[in-house]
Structure 1
Amino acid sequence: MEPLAERMRPRTLDEYVGQKHLVGKGAVLRNMVDSGRISSFILWGPPGVGKTTLAQIIANKLETPFYTLSAITSGVKDVRDVIERARSNRFFSANSPILFIDEIHRFSKSQQDSLLGAVEKGTVTLIGATTENPSFEVIRPLLSRCQVYVLNSLEKDELLDLLHSAIGNDSYLKERRIELKETGAILRYSGGDARKLLNILELLVSSTTDTPLAITDELVENHLQQNPLAYDKDGEMHYDIISAFIKSIRGSDPDAALYWMARMIEGGEDPKFIARRLVISAAEDIGLANPNALLLANAAFDAVTKIGWPEGRIPLAEAAVYLAVSPKSNSAYLGIDAALQEVRRSGNLPVPLHLRNAPTQLMSSLGYSDGYKYPHDYPGHFTEQQYLPDALADGRFWFAQHSPQEERHYQWMVQCWGERFKNEEQ
């Protein structure tokens, strides 16, 4: 017998669950299909949301030849063979054959290059499916010839509709007289993935002989033991979660920071990766508002390197909370970026003579170091002199942001430089 997910695979857009923004009445893909003509596009979304099914439905609706390749098992030769077969099956005035490539993000550059001519000439209409951001994984020339459509994880109501449809319409499941007493666990474990939802339901049905079968949260949890998290250390989810983690620290929310860190830990993230991001955050987002943050982040990095898991989660959590509750300043981050921009604009401006070393008699005779004032010889260890190139003598790159810690630095600069630092504006 076919797996339940295959038995429940929809055959028409009206049976298709989810993605109403693409296939609902008046939506873009629905309109293209109804018009009888489609252009090449890429479906980007998490696993189990219907990318392959949608491509098959479109091919059936348009009554056009449908070829499929897997990026995992196919090479350049396979691509060229399929394109040649599609060319031979191309009928005058008919729609171009559809070439569906699953996991197109796994295609190498040369494999993607081999598709360009056929897509551009209309020999095939390409439908690609990917769980990864196409802007990172698909070559620009191919991406420019395809529209990208984003598919979303299924919502709770959509998953429930799918459950009720399977229980009420599948001939085998109807015999088991299944009752959905509780759905919290099965929905949570599915993670918005329709295929995973149906696989869990099939597992529950096959692992018990109860008829009628009552599905409860306890039953689901006993059979699945743990919640397999959707976290690919090399994938889009990886970057989304670390982004949420850093932005939670930047936004001074320790609870959110701990939650996203827990997601990474449970997903098997490398603790050194988390530690590195904490060090970066301490320098970029806390900065001079609390210089101790960088020291603590470095200490956490050192600690997790020495002790590993699971205890390493403790110093990492300590650092994350400390960074989140610290006052914030990115003045040093903005300052170095402004200086870099100026260097790229103005090029290699000469170092003023009084700032140059004079280790030889010739250099001294040319004026090197002449007029330099040694600050420690003056009251307060400061005396005013020019340190920037002549063309940038009054330049400013660092602007204090007046956090309590940084305010002291700012006031000292005003005391030293006077008007140069007063009434500053970025």
Structure 2
Amino acid sequence: MIHPNIPLAERMRPHNLDQYYGQKHLVGPDGILRRYIEGGVIPSMILWGPPGVGKTTLANIIANQMKVPFVALSAINSGVKDIRDVIDQAKKRQGTVLFIDEIHRFNKSQQDALLGAVEKGIVTLVGATTENPSFEVISALLSRCQVYILKHLSKDELIELVDKALEQDEWMRHRNVKVQEYEALLTISGGDARKLLNLLEIVAEGVQNVDEVIVTNELVKQVAQQNIVMYDKSGEMHYDLVSAMIKSIRGSDPNAAVYWLARMIEGGEDPKFIARRLLISASEDIGLANSNALLMATSCFQAVQMIGYPEAQIILSQCTVYLATSPKSNASYMAIKNARQMVQQTGNLPVPLHIRNAPTKLMKEIGYGNNYKYAHDYEGNFVQQEFMPDGLNNTTFYEPGNNARENDMRKQLQSQWGKKYRY
């Protein structure tokens, strides 16, 4: 069977509410949008949510089930003239729904062009945005629209979506695709249903000359990984030398570090390249054990840019010796490494409501900032509260290193947080 040109996500796009996945709070049996759609009258609205949760699909379903004229514009390539053309046509027919994808990309004049038609009911506006409409949609237009928040699909909903594609899509059935492990598919797609289905299809396409495609985590990672640019072998020594210098700094050997520095200088290495690597080392290998190391390396980089060789060699040597003889800690480096691994495992967990920013009325009404404790209102400018998303409560990424500065930090954290920081 010839592979269809239409992507799997588009082939699986729902055409009615019963086929739609997720957003039960809006389109479930008691959902407000279901009641509007089934009643045949909808208000102008802004659909706000992350990519791949069904904003465009929901707009299409509204048009299909209400059987009204439907016009779609993309804010990326549409202007005021396009908006006015749609409005002129809408005046000649009843009930036009105007869908604007990525409405946050419209500037003020483009959004202003919509105001009169929306207010008079000439068009019913359905805008889709991944950005906070409080910031990206002008207040006059926002006041004329209902804002509905679409949420990430749950793990079970995404798995069900994959299984449905395997069962219903003709090409996937022809390829006899079976999913043995879902974790890599879900993690790499980041909860985006469109990416999830298209990734599944890419994986299935990548396996050739088999009667059955078995999708595993390892297979998904192999197919989906980005190509790594390899250095030209003629430049291998270039990276070996700087690696030797950095490892000597990490090992607190200033003599070896300066030797490898001299080798690079004699070889005509770009001083800015060396200075950049010193900057990285100052943070990765020394970090909070000596915060002045990063300041030294930053000053070194700036000075090298200003004066160049031959004098730059003195500055590079000074910085190299300083870093090599500094106390060492990779605690900050390990903290972000461990945190990123957790993000890759758990995906985009929502920010707890009490620590979300709430500068607008809309955001306050939906609970942003509720019960947040302002640290400066408490003794010692500290009060215990949870800042992690649900599921990661009390997770520790940063473990202070064994040096004077971080030992003090460890004591401070333990006195503030108690058991949470019992290293």
Same fold (TM over 0.5): yes
- Residue 29, structure 1, aligned to residue 41, structure 2: no
Q: What are the equivalent positions in structure 2 for 1:331-410 lying under 5 Å apart?
A: 401-402=379-380
Judged with a 3 Å threshold, the aligned counterparts in structure 2 of structure 1 residues 320 and 10 are, in CA distance, closer, same or farther, namely closer
Per the alignment, in what secondary structure is the counterpart of residue 47 of structure 2?
strand
Counterpart position of 1:89: 93
Counterpart position of 1:115: 114
Counterpart position of 1:11: 15
Per the alignment, in what secondary structure is the counterpart of residue 88 of structure 1?
coil
User: How far apart, in 2, do the equivalents of 1:301 and 1:320 lie?
Assistant: 21
Judged with a 3 Å threshold, the aligned counterparts in structure 2 of structure 1 residues 85 and 185 are, in CA distance, closer, same or farther, namely same
Counterpart position of 2:47: 43
Deviations 1:95-133 (A, max 9, x none): x21000000000010000000000000000000000100
Counterpart position of 1:180: 179
Per the alignment, in what secondary structure is the counterpart of residue 99 of structure 1?
strand
User: How far apart, in 1, do the equivalents of 2:299 and 2:25 lie?
Assistant: 46
Conserved 8 A contact 2:183-2:217:
yes
Counterpart position of 1:98: 97
Which amino acid in the other structure matches residue 225 of structure 2?
Q
Aligned residue pairs total 257
Per the alignment, in what secondary structure is the counterpart of residue 60 of structure 1?
helix
User: How far apart, in 1, do the equivalents of 2:186 and 2:122 lie?
Assistant: 42
Q: What are the equivalent positions in structure 2 for 1:231-242 lying under 5 Å apart?
A: none
Shift of 1:315: 8.3
Conserved 8 A contact 1:23-1:30:
yes
Conserved 8 A contact 1:300-1:319:
no
Which amino acid in the other structure matches residue 174 of structure 2?
E
Counterpart position of 1:74: 78
Shift of 1:306: 5.7
Which amino acid in the other structure matches residue 205 of structure 1?
A
Counterpart position of 1:159: 158
Shift of 1:211: 2.0
Which amino acid in the other structure matches residue 176 of structure 1?
R
Which amino acid in the other structure matches residue 56 of structure 1?
N
Which amino acid in the other structure matches residue 317 of structure 1?
S
Counterpart position of 1:410: none
Conserved 8 A contact 1:51-1:129:
yes
User: How far apart, in 1, do the equivalents of 2:334 and 2:177 lie?
Assistant: 49
Q: Which moved more, 1:296-305 or 1:73-82?
A: 296-305
Counterpart position of 2:189: 190
Counterpart position of 2:145: 146
User: How far apart, in 2, do the equivalents of 1:88 and 1:223 lie?
Assistant: 51
Shift of 1:296: 7.4
Which amino acid in the other structure matches residue 61 of structure 2?
I
Structure 1 segments, 4+ long, off by >4 Å, are 293-308, 318-321
Conserved 8 A contact 1:100-1:126:
yes
Conserved 8 A contact 2:98-2:125:
yes
Per the alignment, in what secondary structure is the counterpart of residue 19 of structure 2?
coil
User: How far apart, in 1, do the equivalents of 2:291 and 2:139 lie?
Assistant: 38
Counterpart position of 2:129: 130
User: How far apart, in 1, do the equivalents of 2:50 and 2:296 lie?
Assistant: 35
User: How far apart, in 1, do the equivalents of 2:299 and 2:83 lie?
Assistant: 46
Q: What are the equivalent positions in structure 2 for 1:47-58 lying under 5 Å apart?
A: 47-58=51-62
Conserved 8 A contact 1:105-1:130:
yes
TM-score (structure 2 length as normaliser): 0.55
User: How far apart, in 1, do the equivalents of 2:130 and 2:154 lie?
Assistant: 18
Conserved 8 A contact 2:184-2:220:
yes
Which amino acid in the other structure matches residue 140 of structure 2?
P
User: How far apart, in 1, do the equivalents of 2:331 and 2:301 lie?
Assistant: 12
TM-score (structure 1 length as normaliser): 0.55
User: How far apart, in 2, do the equivalents of 1:33 and 1:131 lie?
Assistant: 23
Conserved 8 A contact 2:152-2:191:
yes
User: How far apart, in 2, do the equivalents of 1:151 and 1:175 lie?
Assistant: 34
Conserved 8 A contact 2:73-2:99:
yes
Judged with a 3 Å threshold, the aligned counterparts in structure 2 of structure 1 residues 299 and 139 are, in CA distance, closer, same or farther, namely farther
User: How far apart, in 1, do the equivalents of 2:117 and 2:133 lie?
Assistant: 19
- Residue 20, structure 1, aligned to residue 58, structure 2: no
Deviations 1:243-266 (A, max 9, x none): xxxxxxxxxxxxxxxxxxxxxxxx
Per the alignment, in what secondary structure is the counterpart of residue 15 of structure 2?
coil
User: How far apart, in 2, do the equivalents of 1:49 and 1:403 lie?
Assistant: 40
- Residue 317, structure 1, aligned to residue 332, structure 2: yes
Judged with a 3 Å threshold, the aligned counterparts in structure 2 of structure 1 residues 11 and 319 are, in CA distance, closer, same or farther, namely closer
Which amino acid in the other structure matches residue 52 of structure 1?
T
Shift of 1:155: 1.2
Q: Percent identity?
A: 55
Deviations 1:130-166 (A, max 9, x none): 0100000000000001111111121110111110100
Counterpart position of 2:217: 217
Which amino acid in the other structure matches residue 27 of structure 1?
G
Deviations 1:332-370 (A, max 9, x none): xxxxxxxxxxxxxxxxxxxxxxxxxxxxxxxxxxxxxxx
User: How far apart, in 1, do the equivalents of 2:58 and 2:181 lie?
Assistant: 30
- Structure possessing the higher radius of gyration over alpha carbons: 1
Counterpart position of 2:205: 206
